[in-house]
Each structure stands twice: as C-alpha cells, then as structure tokens.
Amino acid sequence: MPEDLEEAILELKRERNAIILAHYYQEDELQDLADVVGDSLKLAQAAQEADCEVIAFCGVHFMAETAKILNPDKPVVIPDLEAGCSLADGCPADEFRVFVDRHPGARVLSYINCSAEVKAMSDLICTSSNAVKMVEHFKGEPLIFAPDRHLARFVAKEAGRDDLIVWQGACIVHELFSAKGLAKLKVQHPEAEVLAHPECDQAVLDQADFIASTTGIIKRAVETPDTLSIIATEEGVFHSILQQAPGKQLVQAPGLDESCSCNHCPFMRLNTVEKLYLALRDLEPQVFVPEAVRAKALRPIEKMLELS
Ligand code: 13P
Ligand code: SF4
C-alpha cells in the first residue's frame, strides 16, 4: 500500500478520469475523498449526470448497481463487492415475482434498496426522500410497495393510503434502535430534538420530532437552533452535520442491547480507503447487470429521476 493513500487515490482518480460517489453512511475518510456525498437519491442523480470514464461507488451494492444501470458503458467499481443490504437481500427476485403475480392489476413501487431484478419488475422506484411523492403518483390505483415495511407504513400514513400491498422486509440497522432506550434518553435530554429515518420501527418513529431521509436529517440537525439532537440513523451522518455545524451536540439513539453497534451498517462499513485504492488501481471489483435486466430496470429509475 502506498504511504500516502489519499494522495494515491486522488492520483489514480485523475489518471482514470474517475468520479468518487459516497453515501453518508461511509466512514469519514471515504466521504472526504468523494466528489459527491449524498443520500440514495442524490447519488443516483450524480450517477445519471456523471461526466467521467469510471465510477467508484462507495456505498452498498444496490446503489452501485443503480449507477451501472444508468451507465452501462462505464466501469462501476465498489470497494467491497460484499457490501449488501438486508432490504435488498430480503427480497429475492423469484419470490417477489410470485408476490407480484398474486396481485394482478396492482402497480409496483419499489424502494431503491432492492436488486436490479426487483427494479426490473417495478413501475417506479423511490428513495426515502421522495417515497411519499412517488406513492401519490399512483392515486386511486392498487399499489404494491416493496421491500421495507417500516417505510411503507410511514408513507401510507403521509400519503393517506391504507391499502398498500406491502412486502414485509426490514433494515437490520434501523430495526435495532430501542424505543424503550430512546424514551429514557429523552428524559435525560428533554430539550433535544429526535431525528429519525423512516426505516425505524413505529415505536421509535412515534417518539421522533422529525422523520426524514439522511439528507433531511442532516439538513434539520444543521438548521435547528437546538444545540442537541438525538439521531436515529447510521452514525455516518454525524460527519456531514459536524462539518456544517461544528458546535452541534449529537447523541446516538440507543440500540436494543447496549453492546450492539446498531448505529453502524455492517455492509456500508465493509468499504475502506484501502479497498477504494485497490478498486481504482485494479478496476475491480466491478458491478455488472445483465443487459435484459438493465433495460427493464432503467425505465422505473429514469421515471423516478424525472419526477424528482
Ligand atoms: P437514504 O435514502 O436516506 O440515503 O437511505 C438509504 C439507506 O440505506 C438507509 O438505510
Ligand atoms: Fe441497507 Fe439498512 Fe444498511 Fe441502509 S442501513 S444499506 S437499509 S442494511
């Protein structure tokens, strides 16, 4: 490994005419190296607009796959190919096909946290920042929402839809925040605002003052005059909040058991600066999507980007 890894990565980036995209859940050093840091929507938009020869995607597999679907002719590398997602993994394409077929006539709205094959079976894709708007697009039509049941419950309430047909998946990170622990923490910090991601369980969301995507949480924490915020999402968002509001006090919402590091996504955290260096040097591991799947998955992604 080169002694100055950051310099070596920037050098490789120039040589390869590459762009580095990173999700807010990546370790601080990866966020600092990125050309664009964002939530799932911003990263999909950045991938669509990418003017480069190589995309290095610091995030999880479905995010890099979305970038590849939008850029079939560019190599898309990911530091660790094992960086999956419990939501995507919990919705296998063959089982989803059966689920969709059981509801003839229903339209399909899928959260971007799913595989390319599931996207290919969908009419429209959404992210946590535009899910309500995307549900509203299907006014009056029977609608399947997959694969996150917590986000589904949140958007159903916001959009006034109690008839969504929901795939019962969940995020192993957000499901582990403890409602009981949060209630105790609120007693210790009655002045704090609780900011939560909609992938959290209802008992946690019931105690939140503000529910939004990672971008929404960061914006709110930076803008609110409150000095202390309790954060119920992955700890990676702290970096961006503290860069923009250095005096801010942030407290992590507690996990179900004290020893769990549920504030870290184990998949996102597989990516490291060392692995990013190797990915840019060797142009692997790359993400590939079979053309037949890609062509079908592209339509609902492009439609979301148009509507966003
Ligand atoms: P965002 O849509 O806020 O980026 O969330 C993605 C995600 O994986 C949350 O766990
Ligand atoms: Fe998937 Fe949850 Fe990790 Fe987000 S935090 S990438 S939803 S496992």
Q: Are residues 111 and 99 in the same domain?
A: yes
Residue 165 lies in a domain: yes
Q: Please report the pLDDT score of residue 5 as a whole number.
A: 97
Token digits of residue 261: 């590091």
Q: Please report the pLDDT score of residue 207 as a whole number.
A: 98
Q: Please report the pLDDT score of residue 226 as a whole number.
A: 79
Q: Please report the pLDDT score of residue 203 as a whole number.
A: 98
Cα angle: 60, vertex 79, 234; to 5 degrees: 40
Q: Which residues of the chain have pLDDT under 70?
A: 259-262
End-to-end CA distance of the chain: 41
Q: Are residues 92 and 164 in the same domain?
A: yes
Which among 65, 189, 213 has a CA at the least distance from the CA of 126?
A: 213
Mutate to test the pocket of ligand 1, among 114, 128, 218 (most ligand atoms within 8 A of CB): 128
Residue 25 lies in a domain: yes
How many Cβ atoms from other residues are within 10 Å of residue 142's Cβ? Answer: 13
Query: What's the chain look like in SS3?
Result: CCCCHHHHHHHHHHHHCEEEEEECCCCHHHHHHCCEEECHHHHHHHHHHCCCCEEEEECCHHHHHHHHHHCCCCCEECCCCCCCCHHHHCCCHHHHHHHHHCCCCCEEEEECCCCHHHHHCCCEEECCCCHHHHHHCCCCCCEEEECEHHHHHHHHHHHCCCCCEECCECCCCHHHECHHHHHHHHHHCCCCEEEECCCCCHHHHCCCCEECCHHHHHHHHHHCCCCEEEEECCCCHHHHHHHHCCCCEEEECCECCCCCCCCCCCCHHHCCHHHHHHHHHHCCCECCCCHHHHHHHHHHHHHHHHHC
Asked if residues 83 and 271 have their Cβ atoms less than 8 Å apart, the reply is yes
Q: Are residues 59 and 98 in the same domain?
A: no
64 to 44, 67, 75: CA distances (angstroms): 9, 5, 10
Q: How many domains does the chain have?
A: 3
Q: Which residues line ligand 2 (CB under 6 A)?
A: 60, 85-87, 113, 171-174, 199, 234, 265, 267-268
Cα angle: 271, vertex 284, 35; to 5 degrees: 55
Q: State the distance from the centre of ligand 1 to the C-alpha of 42, rounded, in angstroms.
A: 11
Q: Please report the pLDDT score of residue 52 as a whole number.
A: 98
84 Ramachandran zone, left/alpha/beta (phi>0; psi -120 to 50): beta
Q: Are residues 95 and 138 in the same domain?
A: yes
Q: State the distance from the centre of ligand 1 to the C-alpha of 111, rounded, in angstroms.
A: 10
Residue 261 lies in a domain: no
Residue 66 lies in a domain: yes
Which ligand 2 atom lies nearest to the CA of residue 199? 7
pTM of the predicted model as reported, rounded to 2 decimal places: 0.97
Mutate to test the pocket of ligand 2, among 24, 61, 82, 86 (most ligand atoms within 8 A of CB): 86
Which domain covers residue 49, as residue numbers? 5-82+268-291
Q: Are residues 98 and 68 in the same domain?
A: no
Mutate to test the pocket of ligand 2, among 149, 173, 271 (most ligand atoms within 8 A of CB): 173
Which among 153, 182, 148, 196 has a CA at the least distance from the CA of 256?
A: 182
Q: State the distance from the centre of ligand 1 to the C-alpha of 205, rounded, in angstroms.
A: 16
Q: State the distance from the centre of ligand 2 to the C-alpha of 234, rounded, in angstroms.
A: 9
Residue 259 lies in a domain: no
Q: Which residues line ligand 1 (CB under 6 A)?
A: 39-40, 113, 127-129, 171, 197, 199, 213-214
Residue 260 lies in a domain: no
Residue 262 lies in a domain: no
Q: Please report the pLDDT score of residue 260 as a whole number.
A: 67
Q: State the distance from the centre of ligand 2 to the C-alpha of 170, rounded, in angstroms.
A: 9
Protein residue whose Cα sits closest to atom 1 of ligand 2: 85
Q: Which residues pair with 50 in a beta bridge?
A: none
Q: Are residues 92 and 156 in the same domain?
A: yes
Q: Please report the pLDDT score of residue 183 as a whole number.
A: 97
Q: Are residues 302 and 239 in the same domain?
A: no
Q: State the distance from the centre of ligand 1 to the C-alpha of 109, rounded, in angstroms.
A: 16
Asked if residues 163 and 142 have their Cβ atoms less than 8 Å apart, the reply is yes
Q: Are residues 179 and 247 in the same domain?
A: yes
Protein residue whose Cα sits closest to atom 8 of ligand 2: 85
CATH number of the domain that residue 221 is part of? 3.40.50.10800
Asked if residues 150 and 200 have their Cβ atoms less than 8 Å apart, the reply is yes
What b/e string do you get for 162-184 counting C-beta neighbours within 10 Å, with b at 16 or more? eebbbbebbbbbbbbbbbebbee
